[in-house]
Amino acid sequence: MGSKTRGCCGWLIVALVASLVATAAVVAIMKRKPGGGARKLKPLPVPGPPGDIDSKYGDALGVALQFFQVQKSGKLENNQIPWRGDSALDDGKQAGLDLSKGMYDAGDHVKFSFPMGFTATVLSWSVLEYGDQMSAAKQLDPALDALRWITDFLVNAHPADNVFYIQVGDPDLDHNCWERPETMSEKRPLTQINQKSPGSDIAAEAAAAMAAASIVFKSRDTTYSDLLLQHAQKLFTFADTYRGIASDSYPKLQNYYNSTGYVDELLWAASWLYHATGDQTYLSYVTVQNGKAFADWGRPTWFSWDDKLAGTQVLLSRINFFGSKQTSNAENMGLKMYRDSAEAVICGLLPNSPSATGSRTGGGLVWISPWNSLQHATNAAFLAVVYSDYMLTSQTAAVQCSGKYYSPTDIRNFAISQANYILGDNPMKLSYLVGYGSNYPQQVHHRGASIPADVKTGCKGFQYLHSPSPNPNVAMGALVGGPFQNDTFVDSRDNALQTESSTYNSGTLVGLLSGLVTTSSVAQSFT
């Protein structure tokens, strides 16, 4: 009996061990699977310095940055685009200003400070998060050059504390012409916001751009960094003191960049000013003073040139992830609400999440609107890769989405899926980044690209708009509007809905590609 009892116990022990091993294997599988049922995932290792360059994303990053050179206005320096030349050299002269720099927003020749400011803000953010990776890919200098070309314009567009020029050119006149920027001769009137004609949305976006850029240039050009910060602080005060939407002051703006509000820009600007200065006043502004009224906590929105809430939520999550010794309990509560809202945004993006958005194409692209459809996917993917790196650096194992758990790898994989779709992994097998790969759009809706460089058309060069031939000039780095929801794309210059590109798309695309160009990046301190 005694020996049989010991044998029976032995088999029980073996069976128990086997059961435990099997259970562990199931749990491990669940952990690896997105949304696995494990309640606690182990934190992944903190990433080290940039690793080997992924040539796909490195090459794409090099291409994407060229679009900023394509879009430059003014007297060009070290021009690398053979079909581009000097343009708009007299912009601002009627007001005694030099507004010749800056960038044309898309395929036309108007300079809109609102999307241009957003481009500068997200480009600064990209450099701050991934400058080491851009440097490893030998693409940091082009990014800094593009950023400064915009901020030089923004500085000159702010000649007095409560005056800011928001537009150069008349969109109606401009859209009645099809010509190269180098030969345009139409009047280019100026539009300004001031105390009597406010535009808090645009002034605050410019403040955010210059505050963020001041951090970028702090270690590179102290004098310039200080100048940017001074303008940022004055513009924020102007925006906050004289509140109003620019399109209310100038109703014609509603036909082009019609902002749906200004409180998101005030939060966005104050968040960047806090990072640039460390001044608790700005942190209190976004948390204690205006968090409940302005932030719309808990309701995910789409990050864009118009709506900055999701970007602000991710940016302020950075403080909640990594801490700040000087924050009060009330401020910390506000920061926690921003982070919770950021996680709601992330949960909406992950395709297997219970709260995943259903607004996707069959090929897996986040798709919100037929006009410029790629902007939301690009912006969302940029926020996702940034958030995943915050999680890795802070040793945060997972986000919880309605009871299911997702790791930083899951979030990064979503960002990768959107980037890969853009670069050709889609039902059309088409790269939507012009100049990348062997199959990309040939008829980008872009005046300069569509007209031979040696031709003078005058205002009425519309035969080049309607020509069935490919563009004679390649708009390198242009991210076109993108596919319809059924994953189809019509490559026609007349189809501006799908074939027009914009600088603000390129800003977040550069950030996305920089985040993917090597292994995950350690989130560095901004200050």
Distance of CA 486 to the CA centre of its chain: 25
Cα 174 to Cα 459: distance, rounded to the nearest angstrom: 9
Q: Is 129 a catalytic residue?
A: no
Active-site residue (options: 145, 186, 296, 491): 491
Q: What are phi and psi of 306, to 5 degrees?
A: -95, -40
Q: Residue 71's CB: how many other CB atoms inside 10 A?
A: 32
C-alpha dihedral sign at 478, 484, 486, 492: negative
- Helix or strand holding residue 168 (H, E): strand 164-168
Active-site residue (options: 109, 158, 445, 446): 445
Q: What are phi and psi of 184, to 5 degrees?
A: -65, 140
Q: Is 175 a catalytic residue?
A: no
Active-site residue (options: 152, 410, 487, 500): 500
Active-site residue (options: 59, 108, 179, 205): 108
Half-sphere exposure of residue 142: CA atoms within 13 angstroms, side-chain side: 22
**C-alpha dihedral over 24, 26, 27, 33, to 10 degrees?**
150
Give the residue from 310, 302, 382 showing the smallest Cα distance to 61: 382
Position 104: which residue type?
Y
Residue with the two structure tokens 């206005």: 73
User: Using an 8 Å Cβ cutoff, are 350 and 407 in contact?
Assistant: no
Position 145: which residue type?
D
DSSP string for 395-460: T---EEETTEEE-HHHHHHHHHHHHHHHTT-STT---SBTTSSS---S--S-HHHHS-TT----SB
Cα 164 to Cα 15: distance, rounded to the nearest angstrom: 76
**Partners of 480 in the beta sheet?**
501
Q: Is 108 a catalytic residue?
A: yes
Distance of CA 13 to CAs 5, 8, 19, 101, Å?
12, 9, 10, 77
Cα 248 to Cα 150: distance, rounded to the nearest angstrom: 25
Cα 349 to Cα 186: distance, rounded to the nearest angstrom: 45
Tokens of 34: 């997105």
Active site residues: 108, 445, 491, 500
